[in-house]
Amino acid sequence: MKFIHISDLHFHGTDEKNSEVTKTLGNLNKNYPSHCIIVTGDIVDDGNKEQYILAFEALQHFKKRIFICPGNHDFGTAGNFYERKKAESFDEYLMTPLQQNGTFSDDNLPVVSIIRENNDQVMLIALDTNLETMDPTDFACGNVGDKQLKALKDILSDSSNATFTKILFFHHHPFIRSDFTMELKDASKLMEVIKNKVNVVLFGHKHDSDMWRSKYGIEFILASNNSPGKGSAREITIENKNITVNEVPID
């Protein structure tokens, strides 16, 4: 079972401004036709309808093998000003037509998907880490929130889920400490919930690629850059519960 992690696509409202991202996605579809694609937010740049329509046109080719979560730019202008209508548009134009296993703008609970292939069973858990605020001093910060954290804790402590390999993905970078404009405010609470409980963690937001091994008892923690035009992305392979990560070309 193979996954490719990409992030921060930042679709704009015109085809001319989307040439790089559409090229990257076209190459992904052509060269990795059986891989699952995980996109960790900022799919569009301002949460506008026109951007969502163009994003769906490009992403629909991955239907039934794409898994997404929202970023701060998906829910608000410039990524700094949350708007309920734009959060609802994310569900309307992407989550529902891309056949995701839930939505975010209603209950704001983790969206869980199960994939089975040969001897492997993988549980994908998507979170919404957007801070629902119009306060400009919150900038591009994130927050998981107590409700979502409790639901996540319940999922991870359920004994019936013990046999799954678990991939948790969200947008905001949990290890940003020096930039108060981008931090995940309750990152310490999140890491306390997931330590020793998941196998892989994926996120974006900072536009920097990075990898941590065996941190918080998690085999792989992977940060994606803003993928379009970057040339490569990480491929996660799960076979008989063994996990490997490699860089693969995407342009």
Is residue 148 within a helix (H) or strand (E), and if so which, with residue range? helix 146-157
- Spatial contact of 191 and 206, defined as CB atoms under 8 Å apart: no
Joined tokens for residue 17: 């401004």
pLDDT along the chain (251 residues), means of 10: 98 96 97 98 97 98 98 89 93 98 90 96 98 77 96 98 98 86 94 98 96 97 96 98 98 86
CB 173 within 8 A of CB 40: no
pLDDT at 80: 78
Write down the pLDDT at residue 18: 98
Q: How far is the C-alpha of 145 from the C-alpha of 108, rounded, in Å? A: 9
Cα–chain-centroid distance for residue 153? 19
The DSSP string of 73-125 is TTSEETTTEE-HHHHHHHIIIIITTTT-S--SSSS---EEEEEEETTEEEEEE
- The domain ranges of the chain are 2-249
Name the pTM for this structure: 0.96
Second CATH level (architecture) for the domain 2-249: 4-Layer Sandwich (3.60)
And the tokens for 28?
């992904």
Amino acid letter at 204? G
Give the pLDDT confidence score for residue 172 in this predicted structure. 96
Angle at 201 between CA 30 and CA 34, to 5 degrees: 20
